[in-house]
Structure 1
C-alpha cells in the first residue's frame, strides 16, 4: 500500500489569516493590543491552546490557567465556522487527484481541533481524499508526540507511510514515529529547510506526485 499522510495548516491550507482575525477579535474584546499576521503564523503548529498561550504572552498577559481557558473558549467561538480567508495552497487539489490516480491511500494528522478541521476539509473538498483523520482532540496526545500519526496509520491499515508537513513540529513528529518526511518549504516553518530533518523537500505541490512516486518505487522495489 502507498500511504501518504498530511499535516493541514501550513501544508494543505494557509489558515493564518482566519486565525489572525479570530485572535484579534478576542484581543479587541479584551481591550488589548492586536498581534500581527506574522506573529500569528509563528504561533501555529501545536494546536489552538498553544496559539492562545502564545497570543497571551505576546500582549503581556500572565500564564493563568483560568484566564487561558476563558480566552481559548472565546477564540474558538470566533474561529469555528466557514473559513472565509483561508486558502488551499496552489497545486494541492491537482496533486491529491494525481496521488489518488497513482493508487495512494491518504490521511490527515493535524493539531487543529476536530470541529474546524472537519469544516475546512469539507469546505475545500479535501475530505474526499482523506481516508483517516486525527485532529488535535482525537487523542490525549498531540504532535510532536507520534501517537496521532500512528493512529492514522492504523486507521488506514498502513504498515508504512510518507508524512508530508511544513514545520518543526512535523519534522519532530515524523522522526519520533520513524516515518519518512517530505517538507513543504512554503508553510509556517521558522527554521531553514537545511536545519530541519527531512527525507524530501518541495516548494510547489506540482512536484509532490513525482516525489511520492520515486519514494515508493524505491521502498517497494
Structure 2
C-alpha cells in the first residue's frame, strides 16, 4: 500500500515534445539559425530547460554566452503559450481520476512557472497537491532532493514515483523510492536496463499497479 503517488510531467503525463520543438525552433529562427529536426529536439528533453538549451547550443554552434538569455526567452514563451501542441497521453485523465482518493504530486524538471501554466491550460490546476519544479531548488533531477522535497510536502509515508526516462529511474533509485515506468515516453534506454518496480505501456493499466 502507498500513501501517495508523485508523477513526472513531460513524457509521463503529457507529450510536450511538439511544443518544446516548436519553441526551440522559434528561438533559432529569431537567431537566424536553421531549425532542428523534431527527433533531435525530442532527444534533448528530460534534464530541464538549462540542459535543453545547452544541447541546442551544442547542436547549432550558437555562442555559449547566449545560454542564460535563450533559457529566459524559452521559459517566457512557454508561459505565454503553454500547451498549444501538448496533449495528455491516452488514458491519463481516467487514471488520475481513479487515484483521486490518494494525494497526487508532481516532480518535474520543467520550471514551476511553465508547469503551472500548462496545468491551468489542461484544466489540471487542482489535481496535484504538491508541485516541485526544475527551479524549486538549486538542483534538479536526477539529484534526489526534488523528489525528497515532494515526498516531504505530500506528507511522507510510502510513495510511488511514476516517470518515463533515465533521469526518472536514477532519481527514484537515489531517493530509495519505487518507480513505475511508463514505456511510451522519452527514454532511449531499453526498459529492462532501467531500475523500476513495474513498467506499463498503457495508462489504463497504471491504477491497478498502484493498488
Q: How high is the TM-score relative to the length of structure 1? A: 0.91
1:109 pairs with 2:90: no
The 5 Å alignment of 1:1-221 reads 2-62=3-63, 64=64, 66-81=65-80, 82-100=82-100, 103-213=101-211
Secondary structure of the equivalent of 1:201?
strand
Provide the C-alpha distance between the structure 1 equivalents of 2:125 and 2:172, rounded to a whole number of angstroms.
23
Query: Tell me, which stretches of 5 or more residues in structure 2 are unaligned?
Result: none
Query: Tell me, which stretches of 5 or more residues in structure 1 are unaligned?
Result: 214-221
Structure 1 residue 74: Cα displacement:
2.3
Report the more deviating stretch, 191-200 or 163-172: 191-200
Structure 1 residue 60: Cα displacement:
2.3
Contact kept in structure 1, 2:3 and 2:157, CA below 8 Å? no
Provide the C-alpha distance between the structure 2 equivalents of 1:2 and 1:206, rounded to a whole number of angstroms.
20
Contact kept in structure 2, 1:25 and 1:78, CA below 8 Å? no
Provide the C-alpha distance between the structure 1 equivalents of 2:35 and 2:66, rounded to a whole number of angstroms.
18
Structure 1 residue 126: Cα displacement:
2.3
Secondary structure of the equivalent of 1:39?
helix
CA RMSD of aligned residues (A): 1.1
Provide the C-alpha distance between the structure 1 equivalents of 2:39 and 2:79, rounded to a whole number of angstroms.
21
Contact kept in structure 2, 1:165 and 1:183, CA below 8 Å? yes
